[in-house]
Amino acid sequence: MIRVVIVGAGPAGMAAAYTLSNAEKRHELEVTLIDQGKRVEDRTNGDTDKAYGVSGVGAFSDGKFIFETELGKRQIGTNLGDLIGARDREYLMKAKEFFRGYYEKTIGKIERISEERLVKAKEISRIAGIHDIDYIVANDYHIGTDKLPAFMKTIQDDLERRGIRIITEQRVIDFDNKKVYTKDMRKDANSGKEESYNYDFLLLAPGRDGSTWLHQKLDEKKIAHSSRPIDIGFRIETDAAVIKHLTDIERDVKFELTHPNGDKIRTFCVCPYGFVTQERKKPEFGGLDFCLVNGESHSVNKSNNTNFALLVRMPLREEGDNAAWGRKLAEAYKEAGVQRIVLQRYGDLKMQRSSKPNKVKEWRIQPTLPEEEYMVGDVRIAMYSRIMDDIRYAIDRLSVPGLMEGLNQDSTLLYGPEIKMHGINIKTTPYLESVSMPNLYLAGDGTGFTRGIGGSSSSGILAAEGILSKL
Ligand SMILES: Cc1cc2nc3c(=O)[nH]c(=O)nc-3n(C[C@H](O)[C@H](O)[C@H](O)COP(=O)(O)OP(=O)(O)OC[C@H]3O[C@@H](n4cnc5c(N)ncnc54)[C@H](O)[C@@H]3O)c2cc1C
């Protein structure tokens, strides 16, 4: 038997396992999927389980499944184009097919964007173009954070039926060219029993949270990599009505613009009628010990607000370490005494003063993040002025009739920091095999190749096909 070990049971790891289980040569393969977190049914949306376990951070994500672009200049959520050119679309389509079967069995038929919505989208694109802003429209569907775990469980259970061995609550602490070494996480991570698993092919898909661990291992083992830009910014929350005309066309409203200084700024992860959330991290699971903001929306429980990330793509110089720089930024917030998410009203930011906690009840737009999870103050406390300039510039540029008119009003809320750590650029073959260590494959958000469920699963499929091509 040929042993394949996949580390990380997020969308990338699951899609890879599925691809291997579907292959003609599947009977020659013994596939083991290892995750440090729990099985989907044992995870809860409220503590560490939210970020780790089978289906990864995807289990409690907003559940927007995006695979193709209808309008706009680029594919969403993948850097695979750098490696395989226009074939990135082929792999996104394979990822779409992977999820389609489960979706149609459990939720319903996937509809394409309607002609009526497309006509409206083209008009928004025209207005955006006048303002030199790119408007990207995806053809997506949305499941909602509340329904996702059940959906992901059908995939988990099917993978097991297909013969994939799923091992949970084992953290991979190291690997060499024959084995991975794990630690049992069930009781105390420090005293957990250690085990090892032999492999012929190893696929690492540890997710964004796992990128720090991965980076460390790449350095230790001298596996070739360089830096990729990371995204830094804030979560913006506004009246759902301010951008309803956009979210009615396409819930994940994607605008991209360029500051005169050259920085690229974009809207990301729009959660209509949603809730701002806190990304919980646990150092013993490889997570970083600080607070980051995020957002989610549910299929039934809705708020009056819409939130989205406004992010600046920060490329450092070639020799820089983008991810380490992002971590330091988050740590700077912590060192400044920020143990929770910082929240500021845009009117106060414009006046260059801190927001006051005793005023929150009077604000027209009420925060959807629970009170105990934010600190009212000044979002600039640890942010670089260049990023602050970019964010303010983007808010003003987007606040035009037809786009996000009204976004620059005083009542708009900013939460920070929001940081997407995917700063690694690992040197691989077009099948995502490391050029430094044969039979080591890499996929998903933690490897810098992707940013989203669609993209990460497409990279898992590509890596799995790479393994199959060597059999
Ligand atoms: C709040 C939130 C909302 C989001 N909403 C959306 C959305 O609506 N649409 C969308 O497309 N994307 C969304 N995303 C992003 C999306 O969830 C990720 O892009 C996707 O899950 C990445 O998949 P992955 O397999 O690369 O990694 P992950 O999903 O992060 O999975 C990695 C897995 O690896 C495990 N792992 C890590 N290191 C180790 C180790 N050393 N040993 C063992 N196991 C390990 C982790 O426990 C984890 O389960 C959201 C993310 C968040 C946080």
Q: Dump pLDDT digits (tens) for 279-324.
A: 866 777 776 677 899 998 888 899 999 999 999 998 777 677 787 8
- What parts of the chain have a pLDDT lower than 70? 46-48, 73-75, 188-189, 280-281, 287-288, 318
Cross-strand bridge partners of residue 234: 310
| Neighbour count for residue 280 (Cβ, 10 Å) | 17
Q: Are 92 and 78 in contact (CB under 8 A)?
A: yes
Distance 171 CA to ligand 1 centre (A): 15
Compute CA distances 395 → 236, 400, 405, whole Å: 10, 10, 10
Q: Which residues line ligand 1 (CB under 6 A)?
A: 7-13, 34-37, 52-53, 56-58, 61-64, 66, 77, 171-172, 205-210, 213, 269, 277, 279, 286, 294, 296, 444-446, 451-454, 456
Q: Check residue 156 and give its pLDDT.
A: 98
| Neighbour count for residue 75 (Cβ, 10 Å) | 23
Residue 247 in 3-state DSSP? helix
Which two tokens mark 38?
Answer: 């729990």
Q: How far apart are CA 338 and CA 383, in angstroms?
A: 12
Cross-strand bridge partners of residue 233: 311, 418
Distance 165 CA to ligand 1 centre (A): 20
Q: Check residue 122 and give its pLDDT.
A: 94
Superfamily of domain 2-113+139-226+425-469: FAD/NAD(P)-binding domain (3.50.50.60)
Q: Check residue 75 and give its pLDDT.
A: 67
Which pTM does this prediction carry? 0.88
Parallel, antiparallel or unpaired: strands 374-376 and 194-198: unpaired
Handedness of CA 412, 252, 74, 465 (dihedral sign): positive
Q: How far apart are CA 426 and CA 436, in angstroms?
A: 10
Whether cis (ω within 30° of 0) applies to the bond prior to 367 is no
Residue count of the chain, please give it: 471
Residue 375 in 3-state DSSP? strand
| Owner of token pair 């934010």 | 374
Among the listed residues 8, 135, 19, the one whose alpha carbon sits nearest the alpha carbon of residue 465:
19
Distance 11 CA to ligand 1 centre (A): 7
Distance 210 CA to ligand 1 centre (A): 9
Nearest CA to ligand 1 atom 32: 207
Q: Which atom of ligand 1 sits closest to the CA of residue 8?
A: 34
Distance 12 CA to ligand 1 centre (A): 8
322-335 vs 211-220: helix axis angle to the nearest 10? Answer: 130
Residue 98 in 3-state DSSP? helix
Residue from 453, 457, 458 whose mutation best tests the ligand 1 pocket (most atoms within 8 A of CB)? 453
Q: How far apart are CA 159 and CA 75, in angstroms?
A: 28
Which residues make Cβ contacts (< 8 Å) with residue 253, sequence separation at least 6?
243, 246, 247, 267, 270, 308
Helix boundaries (H) for 276-408: 322-335, 346-350, 385-398
Q: How far apart are CA 149 and CA 50, in angstroms?
A: 10
Distance 261 CA to ligand 1 centre (A): 32
Which two tokens mark 89?
Answer: 């679309």
Q: Check residue 16 and give its pLDDT.
A: 98
Q: How far apart are CA 102 and CA 413, in angstroms?
A: 37
Residue from 45, 52, 61, 98 whose mutation best tests the ligand 1 pocket (most atoms within 8 A of CB)? 61
Q: How far apart are CA 345 and CA 357, in angstroms?
A: 11
Q: Check residue 93 and give its pLDDT.
A: 93
Segments making up each domain of the chain, as ranges: 2-113+139-226+425-469, 229-420
Among the listed residues 357, 328, 352, 327, the one whose alpha carbon sits nearest the alpha carbon of residue 342:
357
| Neighbour count for residue 313 (Cβ, 10 Å) | 19
Residue from 14, 57, 196 whose mutation best tests the ligand 1 pocket (most atoms within 8 A of CB)? 57
| Owner of token pair 């080591």 | 440
Distance 61 CA to ligand 1 centre (A): 8
Q: Are 120 and 126 in contact (CB under 8 A)?
A: no
Q: Check residue 306 and give its pLDDT.
A: 98
